[in-house]
Amino acid sequence: MQKSRNPVLRFPRLIIVLCLAIFAVSAAGVFRYTLSYDTRVFFDPEGADLAKLRAFDAKYGQNNDVLMVLWADGRKITEPEVLAALGDLVSRAWRLPHSTRVDALTNFPHVSADDDSFTVADLVPDPANVTAEEARVIERTALGDSLIRNRLLSADARAAGILVNFNLPAEASVEVQEIVAASRALVAEFEARHPGIEVKLTGNVMLMATFSEAALNDIKVLIPISLIITSLVMFVFVRAVLPSIAILSLLGLSSAAAMGLAGWYGYEINTATVACPIIIMTVNMAAAVRIVTTAMGALGRGVGRHEAIAEAVSMNLWPVTLTNATTMIGFLAMNLADAPPLRQQGNVVVVGICLAYVFTFTWLPALLSLMPLRPAVQRSERVMVLLGHFVNRYYRQLFFLCSVIVVSCAMWLGNIRLDDDFARYFDWRFDYRQDSDFAEEHLTGLNIIEFDVGSGEDGGVFEPGYQERLAAFEAWLREQEGVVSVIAIPEVTRRVHDAMNAGRAAEALPGDRETVAQYFLLYELSLPYGVSLNDQINVSRSSSRVTVILRKMSSSQIRDLDERATAWLADNVPPAMQAQATGINVLFANLSGVNIRSMMLATLVSVLLIAVVVGIALRSAVFGALSILLNMLPSLVGFGLWGLLYQDIGLAASVVTAMTIGLVVDDTIYFLLMYQQARKGGLDPEGAINHVFEVVGVAMLVITVSLTVGFGTLAFSGFEVNRSLGAMTALVILSNLFIDWLMLPPVMRIMENARVRRSGTTVA
C-alpha cells in the first residue's frame, strides 16, 4: 500500500480532524449520564421474579429502610443513660426526609391488659427518665419478646437497632442522596452530642447509595490504574514513547466515545457499565501494538516511514478484522444474560470495539505518519523460534502432558460451588460493608426473605385454621439454621389473646373467626402514631406477610431455605396458603443461577458463530471445528483452576465463558492464519509451526499479556462482581496461551500425521 494510494497517509491531518470530530460528538453523551441508585437494576424489568416482588411491594408497601445500629462501647442499651440517648435518636430519625415509620426498642408497641383495660403503648414511654429498676424490667421484657430480640435489641442487650422506613418513587436517585446525606449528618451530630456512643448505618437505602459509590470509586481508582498499567505494557512491547502515546490516545478516544454514545442512548452508570472503558482499552490494545511494532520492524529492514506504516496496516487488516469480529460475537452474546447491566456492558464494549477498529486504521496510522519513528530491532523472535523448535521436538510428550492437565482441571470443576453473598458484594473500603458486618456480628441479620401467604377469601386471615397453620409455619421457620427472627400475624393474635386472658388459662389461639377479627380491630385502634398493620395484612384481609430475617446466609443457603420452606408449605397447608419466597435477597440469591442458565445458550451460539466465522475466513471446516474444541478448553482449564483455588463462583461466572470465547480465539486465529499460509507456501508441518512462532509468537504474547493485565486491573475494584469477572477472565486468557502454544501445535502435527497415514493407505 503506497502513500499515494492511501488517503489516511495522504491526508493525515484531515483524518485526525475527522476522528476528533467523531470523538467530540460521541463523547458529549457522557454529560447525559446519571448514576444508578437502584438495587433492582440487575434484574430483568419484564422478569417474573421482579414482577412478583413489585406485586408484593404494592400489596404491603416498600421495604426501603435505613437500619441504625447503636453501640455504646459494650455497655448495655438498657442502662438509663443509653436509653435516653436511644430515645433522642429515635425522635430525630422521624425527621429524616421521606420517612414514614420508625421502629425501635423505645417505641415498640407493647401489649398489656388488666380486668378493666387493654392498651398498646410504647415499651419505653419516656426514655429520658428511666429508673434503674424500670431499666431492668425493660430489658427483661425486651429479651423475652421474639419480635425485639435479635432485631431491635441484641441477645446480650449491648446493641440496638432503629429501623427507619421510607416511601420512595420508582426512580429515587435524588431521594436516596437526600436520605443518605441526612442520615450521615444525623449520626455525626448525634455522636457529637453523646460521646462514647456510636451509630452504624446499613439497610436497603444505604445499599442503594453504595452501588453508586462503588461505581464512582471504580471510575476514580480503576481507570487511572488501567492507564498506568496499559502504558507500562505498551512501553515494554513498543519501547518508544511517542508511538505509545499514539496508542494510548487511540484507546482513550475509543473508550470515551463508546461511553458517550451509551450516554446518548440513555444508559446509566452502574457497577457493570463503569468497567466498560477498561475492557474497551484492554481488548483493543493488542491490535494497536501489533500495527506499531510491525511498522517499526519494517523500518528496521530499511523501509521508508510511510511505506512501513502502510505495510503494517496491510498485513494486520485481515487478522484484526477477523479477531474483532469474533470478539464482538462474544460480547454480543451477553445480550442473552438475564441481568440488564451485563447486557449493557456487552453492548457498550461492542460499540467501543467498532470505534477502535475505525480509529486503528485511521487515527493511528495518521498520527504515526506525523511522528519521528525509530527502527526496531526485533530480538523476541529468536526466543519464539527456540520455543517453536522445542514444541516440534517434544510434541507427543507435550500433547500427553497438556491432556493430563486438561483432564485434571475437568475433575476440579467438581469443586466449584455456585454461591456468593449479596450482602458482601462490596469490600472493606466501603462504610456500608463495615457497618453491615458490625450489624450482623452484634445485632441482627441483613438477609430478609418474604412470603405472601394467602387464605383464599376476603377476611380469611382471621380464620382460626389459617392462624394455626401460619403459626406452625412460623415455628418451623424459627427452628431453621440462620434464622434470627420471624414476623407473622399469629404473634399479634397470640399477644392480644394472652393479654385479654391475663391470669386465666386459655388456648394458644382463639377458636373462632369473630374473636380473632375483634382482636385485630382492638389492636389496630390502640396502636400509637405512625404504626399500623397495613404492612402485615393486605386491604381485603385475604393474605398476610411473613418476614424472615437471616444472619450470615449465602446465596446457596437462601435458595436451600426457600426450597425447604416451599416444600413444607406444600406438605402442610392448603393450596391457597402455599407460597414461594420473594424479596431482593431472594432475587440476588437466584441471580447467578438464572444468568448461568440463560448464558448457556449464549455460549453455544457464540461458539457456533465463531466456528463458522473462522471456518469461512480460513476456508476450512476442519479449522472451524478445531476452533470449537480448542477454544472451550481455556474455559475448562480456567474454571478448573478456580475450582481448585477458590471454589465459589457467582454472578460474574455467568458471562465469563461466552465473553472469553471471543477473546481467546484471537490467538488461535493468528496461529491458524499463519500456519495455513506457511503450508500453502510449501513448508512441511514442522517448518510451518516454526514459521508461526517466528512470525506471530510475539503477537500472541502481546494479546495475552494485554488482555490478562487489562482484565486483571478489575481485581482492584471494590465490587465483588467486577473483581471476580476480572480475575476469572485473566485466568481463562492465561490458560488459552498455554493451550495455543503447547497443545495446538501438537494437535496440528498429530492431525497432519494422521492425514499422511490415510493418504498412504489409500495409495497402497
Q: Where in the chain is the domain with CATH 1.20.1640.10?
A: 1-32+239-378, 380-415+592-764
How far is 71 from 127, CA to CA, in rounded Å? 17
Q: What is the mean pLDDT of residues 67-74?
A: 94
Quick one: angle between helices 276-300 and 685-712, nearest 10? 140
Q: How far is CA 424 from CA 211, 440, 743, in A?
A: 12, 11, 39
Mean pLDDT over 420-438 rounds to 85
The Cα-based distances of 255 to 61, 289, 330 in angstroms read: 42, 17, 18
Say whether pLDDT at 442 is over 50: yes
- Convert the pLDDT of each residue in 161-207 to its tens digit: 999 999 888 777 788 889 999 999 999 999 999 999 999 999 989 98
Q: Give percent above pLDDT 70 in the chain.
A: 95
Residue 688, all three cell numbers: 510451518
**Residue 584 is placed in which grid cell?**
431482593
Evaluate whether 483 touches 565 at the Cβ level (below 8 Å). no
What is the rounded distance in angstroms from the CA atom of residue 532 to the CA atom of residue 61?
Answer: 12
Element (H, E) at 615: helix 584-618
Residue 452 has, within 13 A of its CA and on its CB side, a CA count of 17
Judge whether residue 506 has pLDDT over 60.
no
Residue 530 has pLDDT above 90, yes or no: no
**Candidate from 172-176, 484-488, 506-510, 551-555 with smallest mean pLDDT:** 506-510
> Which segments of 3-79 does DSSP mark as H helices, in order?
7-10, 12-27, 48-60
Strands 648-649 and 417-418: parallel
**In this predicted structure, what is the pLDDT of residue 377?**
56
Amino acid 111: pLDDT: 84
What is the rounded radius of gyration, in angstroms, for the C-alpha atoms of the chain? 32
* pLDDT surpasses 70 at 76: yes
CA–CA distance, 338 with 598 (Å, rounded to integer)? 6
| pLDDT per position as a tens digit, 304-348 | 888 889 888 888 888 888 888 888 888 888 888 778 888 888 899
Higher pLDDT, 177 or 654: 177
User: What angle (nearest 5°) sits at the alpha carbon of residue 281, between those of residues 336 and 742?
Assistant: 80
What CATH topology corresponds to 1-32+239-378? Multidrug efflux transporter AcrB transmembrane fold (1.20.1640)
Query: Residue written as cell 496440528?
Result: 748
CATH 3.30.430.20, domain 380-415+592-764, yes or no: no
Q: Which residues pair with 159 in a beta bridge?
A: 71
What are 655-709's pLDDT values in tens digits? Answer: 777 777 777 777 777 788 888 888 888 888 888 888 888 877 877 787 788 788 8
pLDDT of residue 764: 32
pLDDT at 763: 34
3-state SS assignment for residue 79: coil
Round the average pLDDT of the chain to a whole number and report it.
85
Q: pLDDT tens-digit profile of 250-282? A: 999 999 999 999 989 888 888 788 888 888 988
Q: CA distances (Å), 272 to each of 345, 399, 652, in order?
A: 6, 39, 10
Range from 354-358, 366-370, 387-391, 752-756 carrying the lowest mean pLDDT: 752-756
Considering only CA atoms, which of 361, 343, 367, 216 is closest in space to residue 284? 361
C-alpha cell at 442: 452484634
**Number of Cβ within a 10 Å radius of residue 517:** 16
Helical spans, DSSP H, in 619-743: 621-645, 653-680, 685-712, 720-742
User: Which of the listed ranges 149-158, 523-532, 717-726 does the model predict with the highest average pLDDT?
Assistant: 149-158
Class of domain 61-209: alpha beta
Q: What is the pTM of this model?
A: 0.82
What residues does 99 pair with on adjacent strands? 166
pLDDT at 636: 84
Beta bridge pairs of residue 545? 452
End-to-end Cα spacing for the chain: 49
Residues 576, 581, 583: CA angle, nearest 5 degrees: 130
HSE-up of 355 (CA within 13 Å, CB side)?
Answer: 32
Residue by residue, DSSP assigns 538-605 as -TTSSEEEEEEEESS--HHHHHHHHHHHHHHHHHHS-GGG----BSHHHHHHHHHHHHHHHHHHHHHH
What mean pLDDT is predicted for residues 234-251?
Answer: 85
CATH 3.30.70.1320 residue ranges for the chain: 61-209
For the segment 491-516, the average pLDDT, to the nearest whole number, is 78
